Structure formats: structure tokens, C-alpha cells
Amino acid sequence: MTTAPDLEPIIPFLVRTGALKFGEFTLKSGGTSPFFIDLGEVKHGRDLVFLGGHLADALAQRFPAATLLFGPAYKGISLATAAAVAAWHRAGRDLGVLYDRKEAKTHGETGNFIGRRPTPDDHLVIIDDVLTSGRTKLDAIDGLRAAFGVTRADVLVVVDRTTRRTASPLPVAALTTVPDLAAHLRAAGDSRWRIIQDFWENA
């Protein structure tokens, strides 16, 4: 389910920016999908402000005690940053931001993590584009616990891609879901809603 009724404009936003794509895609989980959420298409300041505002609203509603946002490389980096900026401008919440590298540097700021280091007292929220199997999010949480002793970590994604048959192994908050996408396209008279609905029911 969406995190709040006022987040419905997120779906027209995904359509307008071209972030919702149709075709034949291989997912990180190894499965295939007839549609794909590509937030690499969110590449202008106004769109990042819009998306950051929705993420900040969801954080306020679902995780009011959050103190630190973690953006997994690569797409999560801009999302966590946009959410933190929006949280400050909209509500005066000064959230820390942390992100990682795919490969550790050996010079300058070394290591895999950049930004505000977590402590065991932090309530950390992972901000990312999508959740499909949940495996990468679990791996990220395990890594943060091992590196920093993180004791509380939650997940907020733009789109929850889990299907009826593949429930997430961890709790997740999302701006929108696969059934939401199908319902919006159907209401808009877009016949591609059936592609998304069939995927949700049968994948």
C-alpha cells in the first residue's frame, strides 16, 4: 500500500519522467520482468526536489524518530540526499546522510562508507529506488550492523516491486506498489495495466 493518500502523484511522476519502462528486463534478483523502474531518469533538479519531498513526507509519517539516512550506491545516494534536504526545508529535521561505494578507495577518504557514521543509538533508514526480493536490503543491514553496530534499521523505497507470491522478507515502507501502478494505468485508460497486473499475480 502507499504510505499516504497524498502520495498518489508519485505514479504520474514516474510516467512523466520515463522512469516506468516496459520491455524485457533482467532484474538484480536474477528474475525477468516486463516492466522496470529506472530512477536514473530522475535527472533534473525539479524532479529530485519533487521526489525528495515525497520521501521526506513518508519519513515523517512512518519513521518520525529516524536520525540517519543511508543511500546504497548508486541510485540510493541521490535519493537519500534529496530526502534529507527536503526534510530540513519542509520540517527542520536535520537528518544525517551516509552512503557507500561499490569498491573501497585506498587514498583520500578511504573505506566503503562516506558521510555521517552511525552509532548504536541511531535509527537508520535505508532509502532506495525499489525492493524486489529484499535480499540486497538485508545484506546492507547486515553490513551496517557489522561495521557500525547499528541496532535499528528500516527501509523506505520508491516502489515496492514484490509480487503476490514473493513477499518481502523484511518490513518495508514504499511510496507506491505494483498494484498501485496497475490501478493507476487502468484508471488512465492505459492498456499496459494488464502487463503489470499479470506480473504481480503470476511472477
Q: Which grid cell is 135? A: 535480499
Which one from 43, 89, 105, 137 is the annotated catalytic residue? 105
Q: In what order do the strands lie in the sheet with 96-105?
A: 111-115, 96-105, 68-71, 123-131, 152-160, 173-177
Instruction: Please calculate the CA angle 89-95-101 and round it to the nearest 5 degrees.
Output: 115
Most distant CA pair in the chain, distance:
54
State residue 55's pLDDT score.
Answer: 97
pTM (predicted TM-score): 0.91
The structural domain count of the chain equals: 1
The region of weakest confidence among 79-88, 110-119, 144-153 is 110-119
Tell me which of 85 and 112 has the higher pLDDT.
Answer: 85
Which one from 44, 75, 107, 184 is the annotated catalytic residue? 107
User: Which residues form the domain of 166?
Assistant: 5-202
Q: Is 107 a catalytic residue?
A: yes
Contact 130, 159 (CB under 8 A): yes
Q: Is 44 a catalytic residue?
A: no
45-65 confidence digits (pLDDT tens): 999 999 999 999 999 999 999
Task: Look up the CATH number of the domain holding residue 18.
Answer: 3.40.50.2020
Average pLDDT along the chain? 91
The helix (H) or strand (E) run that includes residue 162 is none
Q: Look up cell 512523466; give the residue.
A: 16
